[in-house]
A and B are shown apart, each in its own frame.
Chain A
Amino acid sequence: MEKNLKSCGLLLLVLTSGWTILVFQFPFSREIAVASAVSIVILCLIHDRYSFFYTASVIVSFGAYLIVFMFRNPSLQAWELYYITSHLLLTVFIVSSWIMISYIKNLGYETERMKRELDNMRKTQHGTDVLTPAEFASQAVYILKAAERNRKETWLLTIDIGTVGKRMRNSLLTALKQAATETIREKYDLVTSTEDKIFILLKDTDGTGAECVLRRYQDKMRGELNFVNFPFEFQKEQVFHVQQLRRFGEATV
């Protein structure tokens, strides 16, 4: 509520100063109007971190120009206050625009940050049992540590559909994820997916067990899809320790 009030106040200040520049004919009012309009566009386009440098540069440059102008036209020095008012109008307009645009941009940055945090906090992908990449990576670390201590094997299956055309990819990924959750041991193995890959982490199994899961998975997919030879790649790899997982973690997160 307070932020909304401030934004509205700033908007009113921008509009009022803009209106004053246009209506009252102070010295250089036409040039100031053009500079103000251009500044609004530039402030919208540049990154927030450069906005202040731009704002300060415009204000100080115009002030320096006015000082030189007054020195070169001593007869106008009796009208100094009018020129100061002109500068003040430009300053008010640009500073209030800068703060208002910063507010709006910060709202955008804040929303993005919160969305990222929300994604990190989410454990599963929308309405499925497929884990989010962050949750997968986090749980996998514990699984691998436990396997390392108990001298058990952990295997990672990767299904890469990056070679499939983009039009089909989304639907295919959904079908593959669904099949993966139905193939693995529920509440025991882990599944996650990125835009073009599915990762399955098989706990306490060996190469034969992993091969068995992979074959079962492929059989299941044959029932769903009209492929004799799948147009995507399957990979099977034993994960020995946590360090090795980092590579997969980076790919998933």
Chain B
Amino acid sequence: MTLLLYAILVFFWLLLLFYSALTVAGLWQRISSQAPEKLKGDYPNVAVLIPAHNEGVVIEDTLNAMAKLRYPGELNIYLLDDNSKDNTAEIAKEFAETFSRIHYIPVPPGYPSGKSRVLNYGLSISSSKYFVVYDADNEPEADAVEKLIETAEQTPKAAGAVGYVKTKNASANLLTRMIGLEFQVFQLLMQCGRWALFKIGSLAGTNMLLRRSVIEELGGYDPLALAEDAELTVRLTALGYVLPVVPLSRTWEQEPETMKTFIKQRTRWLNGNLYLLEKSFQDRSAWFGRTFMLSLQHVVTYLFFVLLLVVSDIFFIAGITGIGLPLVGAPLEMLWFMTYIVYVCQLLSSLVIDRNLTVKNVLLVLVMYFTYAQIFLFLLFRSVTMYTISRARKKTIVWDKTQRFKGNVE
């Protein structure tokens, strides 16, 4: 028992130190990152692909932002309408009639449904050297595409580039504020850290640029993948490509405003990652070379991390209820307390680097471990159950579109 507890503690702290190292490296990368240099020759042509399914609530804002994109080369924007039943088509057609570079493309019905199939169709009807993917609720800043291209063109062996995703409705409620904070540290800061330390970037699903030749070499998107970005990252890393992270290329994205939508979205993400995890266990090549870090991260996050979170909760509850923890010769409560402190410091660092240090955000950071982080346990339980049932019944989990919200923009 003592040995087991020691092993858990050591592993817990190793993991924590690893994430802290990523945070520090991410901070360093963010502070020292400069705008990419302008290209000396012509800028390559780019297709912006926007998969859309019933996006009437947000598509006007999205297309307004797309119309304002500044790019020194040829840029075409394709709104890929996946059989919308609302007024998405009407709005998109109006933009397409006005702006020569915006195109409305109805996607023929097909199976399996989802973003991967729509993107494959988008690739089949366009012919640019590069393509950028934006979700239908995204509002990229005017120079976002330009910065991605400049970085991709000047980074050796780059398959493309990945930009920064900010939350546009962070002020809507406590949930969106916490999602925004989570994005800031665990996805963006640590993403920068991974790039700084290991030269590994991962596609974010939106504000991501890829060379067409690379996706063709990979045989397109996997239509069964629910987390198509993570799945594609593994495949292109296996081929030796890199994905530089560009913090200065920013897009503003809407996050779920209700718990129900949040749970649905995150369950889909987790199902997608479980699919990827299963794939990595079946394919030994996922554990060699540059993909090792990505596969390891998946296992650590979806298997070990949840175990450690449960142990941490037991320590905490035992501590505050006065139930004696086993005497193992280690200050268990103090160690638990310091993990909490390090977690808080990681979140605070993202507030500092993104210049949104407010009393409200600091208070949220203090309670996030006890609230937001714990939802992960429920989400993982839900998605593992769903995934196992669907595998047992040999059914495919269908793509579950995230509900959009009107208004509440910062």
Contact = CB atoms under 8 A, between A and B. Distances in A.
- The answer to whether A and B assemble together is yes
B338 A80 contact: no
Interface residues of B, number: 20
B338 A63 contact: yes
> Which applies to chain B's interface (DSSP): helix, strand, loop or mixed?
helix
B389 interface: no
B386 to A, nearest CB: 39
6 contacts: A56-B349, A64-B338, A67-B338, A74-B329, A95-B348, A99-B359
B18 to A, nearest CB: 15
Contact of A10 (B337, B341, B352, B359): B359
A70 B362 contact: no
A83 interface: yes
User: Which 3 pairs between the two chains have the least Cβ-Cβ distance?
Assistant: A70-B331, A52-B352, A63-B338
Contacts of A84: 333-334, 337
A6 B331 contact: no
A91 B345 CA distance: 11
A56 to B, nearest CB: 5
A66 B357 CA distance: 28
Contacts of A59: 341, 345
B334 A70 contact: yes
Contact of A9 (B330, B334, B338, B359): B359
Interface residues of A, number: 24
B248 interface: no
B331 A67 contact: yes
B368 interface: no
A60 B345 contact: yes
Interface of B: 319, 327, 329-335, 337-338, 341-342, 345, 348-349, 352, 357, 359, 362
B303 to A, nearest CB: 27
A66 B362 contact: no
A67 B333 CA distance: 10
B9 to A, nearest CB: 11
Interface of A: 6, 9-10, 52, 56, 59-60, 63-64, 66-67, 70-71, 74, 77, 80-81, 83-84, 87, 91, 95, 99, 102
A59 B342 CA distance: 9
Contact of A67 (B334, B345, B348, B357): B334
Contacts of A102: 357
Contacts of B331: 67, 70-71, 77, 80, 83
> Which applies to chain A's interface (DSSP): helix, strand, loop or mixed?
helix
B353 to A, nearest CB: 9
Contacts of B352: 52
A59 B362 CA distance: 16
A60 B345 CA distance: 9
A85 to B, nearest CB: 10
B330 A60 contact: no
Contact of A80 (B334, B342, B349): B334
Contacts of A77: 327, 329, 331
Contacts of A9: 359
Nearest to A84: B337
Given A10-B359, A102-B357, A81 B333 contact: yes
Contacts of A71: 330-331
Given A63-B334, A71-B331, A83-B334, 18 more contacts: A6-B359, A52-B348, A52-B352, A59-B341, A60-B341, A60-B345, A63-B338, A64-B338, A66-B334, A66-B338, A67-B331, A67-B335, A67-B338, A80-B333, A91-B341, A95-B348, A99-B359, A102-B357
A99 B357 contact: yes
A56 B347 CA distance: 11
A30 to B, nearest CB: 20
Nearest to A5: B359
B359 A52 contact: no
Contact of B345 (A56, A66, A99): A56
A81 B338 CA distance: 12
A70 to B, nearest CB: 4
B201 to A, nearest CB: 25
Contacts of B319: 81
Which among B319, B349, B357 has the greatest number of chain A C-beta atoms within 10 A?
B357
A107 B399 CA distance: 48
A80 B348 CA distance: 26
Contacts of A81: 319, 333
Nearest to B23: A56
